[in-house]
Amino acid sequence: MKALRELNGLTQDEMASKLEMTTNGYTQIERNVGNPNLPKIEKIAKVFDMTTLEFLDFCENGATFYISTDNQITGDNHGKNYYVFGKNGHEMLLAELEKAELAIELKDELLIQKDNEIAALKEIITLMKK
């Protein structure tokens, strides 16, 4: 992001002004300390005359943003949909997809096991009633 800013002849103060934020807030994003939300990422991309996806793909270390229905960001990503872009983005997405598929398989196996346990308990109850 710093390289894009410098290529466009902008200072950190000017970027902060364009993004309607403090210079300190902007520098945190540029240093990869701050976590901008999607609307802020869209604004940054517009400043550089790029689409959001072009900007995120350009990011040297990749970028992650979270989308949730409650607009709250927590320390974990459980139950959240998220997207990763940048140099390692594709590999990271494939790894996350594989983890999700394994979790689904495990849940399916647990559900089958629970269904079997419920059926066995129902059978025991039926036998005890006799």
Q: What is the pLDDT along the chain (130 residues), one digit of tens a residue?
A: 888 889 899 999 999 999 999 999 999 988 877 778 778 888 999 999 988 878 877 775 555 544 444 444 444 444 444 455 455 555 666 677 788 888 888 898 899 999 999 999 999 999 999 8
d(CA 35, CA 122): 51
d(CA 56, CA 58): 5
Tell me the β-bridge partners of 84: 64
Each domain of the chain, given as residue ranges in start order, spans: 1-85, 88-130
Q: How far apart are the first and last CA of the chain?
A: 74
**Domain range 1-85, CATH class:** mainly alpha
Quote the pTM value: 0.50
d(CA 111, CA 18): 52
What's the pLDDT at 63?
Answer: 53
What's the pLDDT at 18?
Answer: 95
Beta-strand ranges (E) seen in the chain are 63-67, 81-85
Task: Find, among 60, 52, 43, the residue nearest to 2 by Cα.
Answer: 60
